[in-house]
Homo-oligomer: A and B are copies of this chain.
């Protein structure tokens, strides 16, 4: 492992001192990697710095405390996710169903829906302390996305004349499904994949909004 690290390091003629931002980024990525490998509780200053191929004291130099490193890591993931679904939303064509589909797809895009990243999210969900950090850092983003989804649903409902569909309800159900399916991917990675997740959500939306969403094609394989 040491060898790997050193090789990786020496590969690109590593500057002995790098800019603050570069080092921070490097350490945050090492943190994600370490959480994926050893879990949140199993992640120590040593596992992180070894992963990064840097010295132990450097974390304290750049992040002061471990707690802070973890929060910055969460913030990084949260912002990445935020950017990702916002970009997807904006790039989608103007139709509200396209925009809603884009948000859904963003949650299960390989960039975001990586096991190592989900591990970090659920690591934070698991500890009361870190749940507090989560709320502090992510609550606003969660709310923003929920509101956006509500609006899109409202537009779809208006357009399609769907009776008896409550936009807020759908939006919250979608949020629940994102979390629930991520958890399934985390716990049963072999039995449940991101494709399964997207399929289920596609079907859910198709059943609510048949004029706007197509049913996914039947699959042979056991889902």
What's the nearest-Cβ distance from chain B to residue A171, in Å?
10
The residues of B that contact A200 with a CB separation of less than 8 Å are 169, 172-173, 176
A80 at the interface (CB under 8 A from B): no
Closest Cβ–Cβ distance, residue A20 to chain B (whole Å):
13
Question: In the complex, what residues of B have CB within 8 A of residue A203's CB?
Answer: 166, 169, 173
Copies per complex? 4
Name the interface residues of A149-204: CB closer than 8 Å to any CB of B: 164-166, 168-169, 172-173, 175-181, 183-184, 186-188, 192, 196-197, 199-200, 203-204
Does A63 make an interface contact (CB < 8 A)? no
In angstroms, how far is the closest chain B Cβ from the Cβ of A139?
A: 8
Interface size class of A (residues with CB under 8 A): 35 or more
Determine whether the beta carbon of A207 is less than 8 Å from that of B127: no
Partner of A40, one of B127, B134, B173, B177: B127
